[in-house]
Amino acid sequence: MADLKSTNPVNGDVVGTYPEMTSTEISSVLNEVNDAFVGWHSLKIEDRCQYFRNLAEILRLRQNEFARLMALEMGKPLAQGKAEAEKSALGCDYYADNGPEFLKEKYIETDATESYITYQPLGVVLAVMPWNFPIWQVFRFAAPAVIAGNVAVLKHASNVQGCADAIEGLFLEAGFPPNVFRNLTVGSSKVAEVIENPFVKAVTLTGSTPAGKAVAQKAGSMLKKTVLELGGSDPYVILKDADLDQAVSACVTGRLLNTGQSCIAAKRFIVDATIHSEFEDKIVVAMKKQVVGDPFEEETTVGPMVNESAKEELESQVKASIKAGARVLYESEIPQTENSAFHPVTVLSNVTPGMAAFDEELFGPVASIISANEEEEALALANQTPFGLGAAVFTSNIEKGRKIVETQLEAGAGFVNDFVRSDPRLPFGGVKESGYGNELSSYGILEFVNIKTIYIR
């Protein structure tokens, strides 16, 4: 069995090693979690909610600790790590406050004496989670699923096992019964084995499109429910009547949050040709203000990429795009640290379909600017992608913007005059190769329940 390793992306140092569980150990954990299900779902939902209020309080008290752990394992700047811990606490509070209403029996008038819908948990839910938001992604799933009465096992990314262990510890510290939430220290090669276990009733995955397809295929062969949140190449359409300062601010934030390593990061900026030059000038000025550096330094806004492999892949995509005709408008300096994963903040212009910077997901701090001659062309370019996670439009005509995001952009979320992000109060999910199903809001808590009809004569 191979050890899982956490590596500091600033210098390449190994900061933690974690022995991978054997098949026997995996089976034992799943058996214990399944045993915990009966007692957990028999609790009143109000009692389950209180545990999450306890957890939210601890998250807030320990946000600095979690921010430092994320900075160490995957390079997230400290300020962003603290915000992630706070957002996770907000998610716990949101479902603690609203879960009972979301899962309240719904009475329907029929020819029965009594007929209604009740929501029953499924059992053990497996979560396959990524490294880029190692705390929030987990609680985005766990809060609704576990409040609904399910129990959970986490297969976290191999390089953030410190975060995974810490999350499991949080549940125990908050007073949860043992085995309601467990971390499985396994690599991706073991996921199929976990899905095959009869105790596992459903699977949720956030990650790459190939990983999602593999999990869906395996789970589908066993008729197990899946929710998939996959890759994205989010287009931001900047129309000629847009407030350019507002648009540039949102574009820079949306592109560089988490060093650009986000499925809903702004990936492609499609700009009306009449304002194209002015937009380029303004975004370069804004990008030059970013501070690329050690995530432990408070002034840092852009940290390293997660590892050297990710950096090299992005470098390859940028070089291929330049060779195909893209032009570099700006490239920042980066810390000259041996074995580091820093990639310069980069702005590419003259990007067209057929280039990696247009066709592929660039998972890092690289902005792609595309010129469009008219609104119809801009929207066609925006939709010219296999992905459909988020999209945004910038315009002073709010009704036009509303129509565009509602009916013309192919995405799970449409934003007008702001950057795409998730919010516990709003459903989150994608279309096309960005996945299916929803997380968050009332829709997210209903993904892993049996929506059961009760009919009484």
CA-only gyration radius of the chain, Å = 23
Look-up of token digits 């699977």:
203
229 is catalytic: yes
Integer Cα distance of 349 and 248 in angstroms? 15
* Pairing, β 200-206 against β 124-128: parallel
Which of 49, 73, 263, 439 is the catalytic position? 263
Do the beta carbons of residue 235 and residue 264 sit within 8 Å?
no
Do the beta carbons of residue 48 and residue 273 sit within 8 Å?
no
251 is catalytic: no
Do the beta carbons of residue 157 and residue 141 sit within 8 Å?
no
Do the beta carbons of residue 237 and residue 275 sit within 8 Å?
no
Do the beta carbons of residue 298 and residue 265 sit within 8 Å?
no
Integer Cα distance of 225 and 213 in angstroms? 13
Per-residue b or e along 33-49, where b marks 16 or more CB atoms closer than 10 Å to that residue's CB: bbebbeebbeeebeebb
Contacts of 376 (CB under 8 A, 6+ apart): none
Which of 20, 73, 168, 229 is the catalytic position? 229
Do the beta carbons of residue 360 and residue 208 sit within 8 Å?
no
Integer Cα distance of 312 and 418 in angstroms? 31
Contacts of 148 (CB under 8 A, 6+ apart): 99, 103, 119, 121, 445, 448, 449
Q: Hey, which residues are catalytic here?
A: 229, 263
